[in-house]
């Protein structure tokens, strides 16, 4: 079993070239209001907008699917959980699975939650897939006035993420060379997965500790004013991106309210 982790892909598309802080803020402003509703219409509109603007970020649909496939597992978990433990089972009964009744109300709720998970997660996936981590750290320090210690530490951690996949593969190959193989036994595969994950965690903690000491030794926490090799400007196009994301999200919620389908998460 190999573990592959996605990395940043450079692009010259119009929205991909926007300020990293603007893209991150636009993603939050667009997906934030989706948390307020449980209906399936609002996230459906949001997903349609996200897929429509994807080419403007210079990202292919196949690439988005390869990065977002873990959301499918989350969606399956949501459906199974609601089918088994939903408190309200309104509507007509669609199917009966042993002691569990699958009703139209449960299916609508599950559909709304699954769509909401995708609609909230995809903007973040798109932003991080089209943003250079170094540019993001620079923009956080220059435009948001975030502490340099936090921004540079987050950048270093983000740069180390792809190494986890290589480390997992090395651990798996080393154990296979020593004759540690689960074969076709599912319980043995689970034990091997847990032990490999624990070894990966220990290695990541050790590497993080060494990196922190090295960064302190090089004066990253000196407290003196820092200069910037690459300036990150925040222009009118960046502000327009944030405003546009807010307006589109508000329009999706307004459409749902006008159609009488709005289901607030509270109340």
Q: Please indicate, yes or no, whether residues 153 and 189 belong to a single structural domain of this protein.
A: yes
pLDDT at 108: 82
pLDDT at 37: 85
**Residue range 206-220, pLDDT digits in tens:** 888 888 888 778 777
Name the residue among 40, 34, 47, 49 with its Cα closest to residue 253. 34
Q: Please indicate, yes or no, whether residues 202 and 245 belong to a single structural domain of this protein.
A: no
- Where in the sequence is the domain holding 56, given as residue range(s)? 20-132+231-258
Cα–Cα distance, 80 to 77 (Å, whole number): 5
DSSP-based three-state secondary structure for 51 = helix
Cα–Cα distance, 149 to 11 (Å, whole number): 28
- Mean pLDDT of all residues belonging to the chain: 84
Among residues of the chain, what percentage have pLDDT more than 90?
25
pLDDT at 223: 67
The answer to whether 241 touches 18, Cβ cutoff 8 Å, is: yes
**Residue range 50-75, pLDDT digits in tens:** 999 999 998 889 888 888 888 888 88
Q: Please indicate, yes or no, whether residues 127 and 157 belong to a single structural domain of this protein.
A: no
pLDDT at 217: 81
- For residue 239, pLDDT beyond 80: yes
pLDDT at 23: 95
Q: Please indicate, yes or no, whether residues 173 and 122 belong to a single structural domain of this protein.
A: no
191: its two tokens: 């034990």
Among residues of the chain, what percentage have pLDDT more than 70?
94
Q: Please indicate, yes or no, whether residues 47 and 69 belong to a single structural domain of this protein.
A: yes
Q: Is residue 267 part of a domain?
A: no
What is the domain count for the chain?
2
Across-strand partners of 95?
102
pLDDT at 19: 93
Q: Please indicate, yes or no, whether residues 34 and 49 belong to a single structural domain of this protein.
A: yes
57: its two tokens: 């970020």
pLDDT at 45: 94
Angle at 211 between CA 206 and CA 215, to 5 degrees: 155
Q: Is residue 195 part of a domain?
A: yes
**Residue range 134-191, pLDDT digits in tens:** 888 889 888 888 887 788 888 887 778 778 888 888 888 888 888 877 777 888 888 8
Matching residue, tokens 């609002």? 42
Q: Please indicate, yes or no, whether residues 88 and 198 belong to a single structural domain of this protein.
A: no
- For residue 86, pLDDT beyond 80: no
Q: Please indicate, yes or no, whether residues 92 and 44 belong to a single structural domain of this protein.
A: yes
- For residue 1, pLDDT beyond 80: no
- For residue 254, pLDDT beyond 60: yes
CA pseudo-torsion sign 53, 56, 61, 67: negative
Q: Please indicate, yes or no, whether residues 27 and 127 belong to a single structural domain of this protein.
A: yes
pLDDT at 210: 87
Q: Please indicate, yes or no, whether residues 75 and 98 belong to a single structural domain of this protein.
A: yes
Cα–Cα distance, 95 to 86 (Å, whole number): 15
Q: Is residue 254 part of a domain?
A: yes
pLDDT at 6: 55
Q: Is residue 52 part of a domain?
A: yes
pLDDT at 2: 47
pLDDT at 46: 93
Cα–Cα distance, 166 to 74 (Å, whole number): 25
b/e code 168-202 from CB counts within 10 Å (16+ = b): beebbeebeeeeeebeeeeeeeeebeeebeeebee
């Amino acid at each position: 079993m190999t573990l592959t982790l996605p990395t940043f892909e450079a692009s010259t598309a119009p929205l991909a070239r926007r300020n990293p802080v603007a893209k991150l803020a636009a993603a939050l402003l667009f997906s934030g209001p989706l948390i307020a509703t449980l209906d399936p219409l609002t996230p459906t509109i949001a997903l349609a907008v996200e897929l429509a603007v994807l080419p403007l970020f210079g990202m292919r649909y196949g690439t988005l699917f390869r990065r977002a496939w873990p959301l499918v597992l989350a969606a399956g978990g949501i459906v199974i959980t609601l089918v088994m433990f939903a408190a309200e089972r309104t509507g007509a009964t669609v199917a009966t699975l042993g002691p569990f009744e699958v009703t139209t109300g449960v299916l609508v709720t599950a559909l709304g939650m699954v769509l909401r998970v995708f609609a909230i997660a995809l903007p973040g996936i798109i932003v991080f897939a089209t943003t250079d981590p170094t540019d993001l750290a620079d923009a956080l320090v220059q435009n948001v006035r975030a502490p340099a210690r936090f921004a540079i530490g987050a950048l270093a951690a983000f740069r180390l993420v792809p190494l986890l996949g290589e480390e997992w593969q090395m651990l798996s190959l080393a154990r296979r060379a020593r004759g540690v193989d689960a074969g076709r036994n599912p319980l043995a595969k689970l034990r091997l997965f847990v032990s490999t994950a624990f070894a990966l965690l220990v290695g990541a903690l050790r590497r993080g500790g060494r990196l922190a000491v090295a960064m302190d030794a090089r004066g990253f926490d000196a407290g003196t004013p820092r200069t910037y090799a690459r300036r990150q400007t925040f222009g009118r196009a960046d502000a327009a991106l944030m405003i546009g994301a807010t307006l589109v999200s508000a329009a999706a919620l307004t459409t749902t309210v006008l159609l009488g389908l709005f289901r607030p998460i509270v109340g």
